[in-house]
Chain A
Amino acid sequence: MPELDELETRLVGLTETDIQRGLEVFRSKLKAAEASYLNSCVHCGLCADSCHYHRMDSTLENIPAHKLELISSVFKRNFTAMGRIAPGLVGAKPFNREMAKAWVDAVFGRCSLCGRCSVNCTIGIALPRIFRAARAALGTMGLVPTDLQATVDNSLKHGNNMAVTKDDWVETVQWIEEELQTETGDPGAKIPLDKQGAKVLFTVNPREPKFFPLSLLASAKVFWAAREDWTLASDNGWDLTNYGLFNCNDEQAGAITQNLVDAMERLGCQTLVIGECGHGYGAARWEGPEWLRKSYPFEVKSILELMDEYLRAGRIRLDSSKNPIPVTLHDPCNLVRHGGICEAQRRVLRQAVDSFIEMTPNREHNFCCGGGGGQLAMARYKQRRIRSGGMKAKQIRESGAKIVVAPCHNCIDQLMELNKEYKLNVQIKTVAEMVADALVLDA
């Protein structure tokens, strides 16, 4: 595993200055909330089974509190009086090469930042906030796994995380537009590119033009049916993903967010609509303004909210009998628990399909699919990712549904792997795909 060697090499090469810089960055990420979290854990261990890693592999290293303890022990040693006076008593430990290695393993290798432990913690510690501070510190020490960093670098360099060229993107959009015209029977059906003053700027995950063009086609069909005034950007500003959320380098994350802000300004749109992507929504809607340290002069919505609005306003009509196969819904952590969008997708699906079965648990209690937190971009942790996804596989199987709807392309990738690995024999679709299939088109 060359990646392992590379990371190991960087660990071995760490200097005292690197370690001090890491500590400084870690400290700079802490505010009153985090200081409180780091003083709170009582080591009750009740959070253990809230984590899908621990549920599928019950080792000490997978307990959320253990991951937290690795970080709080360093906090205590460096930033508290008791940690300096009696480190052995309160479990305070120095930050050194060994500890940095343990941090990498814990916060990159055993955590998808899903936040399920937060809602289950006896005290109420929002653990991912601490893990994010640790990731940022490791980043400054050059310890972000190379492939995760490469995804961020792609976005910074090419304006999208898969290095899709402008020509390829535009060509794909034009091809999907032709498909849209065929499917709707409307030769005037358009997928507008760079339409000045359009109401909605729609953004997608680069996996859509690359591997899942039908997803983009489905969204376009819904916009067409709703007679939406929308556009895509032909250049920077069409990719909704932001892996800066996962390498936790706020500067890089902010630069990626700026692409969206610039596109909104360039095109004079009113609403930035984020396609079906959990982390993309979290990054653009919640973290983006914090990274940029300014409020947006426009609104940000998920396409799920928009479809919900269309249905409520009667702008689209659905015939659920067109989707007769039982459907269950996966709740992406960044969209639901951390994003606050819990009901819109349910209201939409209930009208789009004949039989909607909730997974158990669901909403803010959902289990991560295992692919979040940048896990899909870190090849070295693939085995753990697939294993931890076993909880999601179990949920899917127990639902008895034959279609899993996942409003997130990252989750879809992971679910497709789980489908194969755990022989689930299900189809995996987006909400827009279900809606597009159920659309009642005017004659």
Chain B
Amino acid sequence: MTTLHLGVLLAIAWAVLTMTFLHLKAKSYGIRKLYSKPAGDPAKGVVYAFTLGMAPWAKESVMMNLPSYGAGLAFHAGVLTALGLLPVAAFRLELPSFVLFSVRLFTLAGVVGGFVLLMKRLVNPQLRGLSCPDDFVSNILGSTFALLAFAWTLSPVAEVPWMAEAMLLLIYAPLGKIRHCLFFFTTRYHLGAFFGRRGTFPPGGRFHA
């Protein structure tokens, strides 16, 4: 393990610790005590929110924006693959060729997805209006991270910039919107519990008739 790898490890520790702090901070707002009689099971609502409730066909917003949804999926797949590649680089592991091929495919898809989303954010006036600098910084950090991971699979020369980029990404993650990698789960949990308790989730209907 090189000094660079150690730096990445420290950045991971920072990300984990600050995310834990953010989680505890949000939790410290307290849990609402509920007095109304439940009509459904919050647990079932949570399960639905994390499974079928995330399916494209369960959301009109996704069906109306399939290219963006696809780009988002690709972007996230690319960034997660690049993250998964970090220990491979640190411990100099050999990847079987089909895994290496998949890694290249996902990271490249991540770059393309990130680029598409960035362009959309720049070009679409409404999306631009919704955005703050953090949106651009987060996208660029994620896309570059996936791009350098892809480059590393082709040449070890990319390792230094990739590790440096990994540190930047991990240090920045809890500070900006990348924190949604934590809050996505808590938010979906709360949404599922809310609608589950009220008997709306799991639903009987679809947005298409």
User: Which residues of A does B touch, CB under 8 Å?
Assistant: 30-37, 39-50, 58, 60, 63, 65-66, 69, 82, 86, 88-91, 118-126, 129, 285-290, 292-296, 299-300, 336-343, 358, 360-365
Tell yes or no: B200 within 8 A of A by CB: yes
Binary contact track B31-51/A, C-beta < 8 Å → 1, others 0: 111111101100000000100
CB pair A340–B40 under 8 Å, yes or no, is yes
A66 touches B183 (CB 8 A): no
Could you say which residues of chain A place their CB within 8 Å of the CB of B187? Answer: 36-37, 40, 123-125
Interface CB pairs A-B, < 8 A, 18: A32-B29, A32-B32, A36-B26, A45-B124, A45-B127, A46-B61, A60-B129, A69-B130, A90-B132, A90-B175, A91-B132, A91-B134, A126-B190, A290-B34, A338-B200, A340-B200, A361-B207, A365-B60
Contact at B36–A33, with CB atoms within 8 Å? no
- Are B59 and A43 in contact, with the CB atoms below 8 A? no
- Bound together, the chains give a CA A175 to CA B172 distance in angstroms of 71
Indicate if the CB atoms of A82 and B127 lie closer than 8 Å: no
The tally of CB-CB contacts under 8 A between chains A and B is 193
Q: Which residue of B lies closest to A65 (CB)?
A: B130
B91 proximity list for chain A (CB < 8 A): none
CA distance A31 to B30 in the complex (A): 5
Contact (A63, B126) CB under 8 Å given A124-B191, A360-B209, A362-B205: yes
Contacting A364 at CB < 8 Å: which of B39, B72, B137, B205?
Answer: B205
Residues of B near A66 (CB, < 8 A) are 129-130
Closest to B40 in A: A340
> Chain A nearest CB: distance from B188 CB in Å?
4
B21 to chain A, nearest CB (A): 9
The digit string for B102-145, where 1 denotes a CB below 8 A from any CB of A, is: 00000000000000000000001111011111110100000000
Q: CB < 8 Å: which of A43, A58, A289, A365 contacts B127?
A: A43
| Minimum distance in angstroms from B39 CB to a CB of chain A | 5
Whether the Cβ atoms of A36 and B36 lie closer than 8 Å is no
**Alpha-carbon separation in the docked complex, A188 to B158 (Å):** 91
Residues of B33-87 at the interface with A, using a CB-CB cut-off of 8 Å, are 33-37, 39-40, 49, 53, 59-62, 64-65, 68-69, 72
Chain A residue, CB-CB nearest to B126: A60
Interface-centre pick from B132, B194, B209 (highest chain A CB count, 10 A): B132
Cβ of A336 to closest chain B Cβ, rounded Å = 8
* Distance from B168 Cβ to chain A, minimum over Cβ atoms (Å): 14
State the CA gap A46–B36 with chains docked (Å).
32
B72 pairs with A44, CB closer than 8 A: yes
Residues of B within 8 A of A342 (CB): 199-200, 203-205
Instruction: Find chain A residues with CB under 8 A from B28 CB.
Output: 32
Q: Which residues from A are CB-within-8-Å of B177?
A: 41-43, 90
Point out which of B26, B30, B180, B208 has the most chain A C-beta atoms below 10 A from its C-beta: B26
List of 10 A-B pairs having minimum Cβ-Cβ separation, nearest first: A363-B205, A91-B132, A340-B199, A365-B207, A289-B35, A120-B61, A33-B190, A361-B207, A124-B191, A35-B26
Q: Do residues B27 and A364 form an inter-chain contact, with CB atoms below 8 A?
A: no
A46 to B206 alpha-carbon distance, docked (Å):
18
Known interface pairs A44-B72, A123-B180. Does A50 touch B60 (Cβ–Cβ under 8 Å)? yes
CA gap between A46 and B204 in the complex, in Å: 23
| A123-B183, A290-B34 known; A46-B68 Cβ under 8 A | yes
B25 at the interface (CB under 8 A from A): yes
CB nearest to A88 among chain B residues: B133
B20 interface hit (Cβ, 8 Å)? no
- Return chain B residues, CB-CB under 8 Å to A358: 209
| Given A46-B61, A118-B191, A362-B205; 15 other pairs, CB 8 A cutoff | A39-B26, A40-B180, A43-B130, A50-B60, A65-B130, A89-B134, A122-B61, A124-B53, A124-B184, A124-B190, A124-B192, A290-B36, A295-B35, A340-B200, A341-B199
Name the distance in Å between A174's Cβ and chain B's nearest Cβ. Answer: 35
CB of B81, distance to nearest CB on chain A (Å): 19
Which residue on B lies nearest to A121, using beta carbons?
Answer: B61
Judge whether A46 and B62 touch: CB under 8 Å.
yes
| CB atoms of B36 and A286 under 8 A apart | yes
Residues of A within 8 A of B126 (CB): 45, 48, 58, 60, 63
Contact assessment for A285 and B133 in the assembled complex, using a CB-CB cutoff below 8 Å: no
- A33 partner residues in chain B, CB cutoff 8 A: 32, 190, 194
What's the nearest-Cβ distance from chain A to residue B182, in Å? 8
Q: Nearest Cβ in chain A — how far from B49, in angstroms? A: 6
Q: Which residues of A contact B205 (CB under 8 A)?
A: 342, 361-365
- Min distance, Cβ A248 to any Cβ of chain B, angstroms: 15
Q: Cβ of A118: which chain B residues have Cβ within 8 Å of it?
A: 191
Q: Are A89 and B176 in contact (CB under 8 A)?
A: yes
List residues of chain B with CB within 8 A of the CB of A30: 29
Query: Complex Cα distance A44/B72, Å?
Result: 9
Please measure, in the bound complex, the distance between the C-alpha atom of A42 and the C-alpha atom of B207, giving whole angstroms. 24
Q: Give Cα distance in the complex from A119 to B190, angstroms.
A: 12
Query: Which chain B residues lie closer than 8 Å to A50 at the CB level?
Result: 60-61
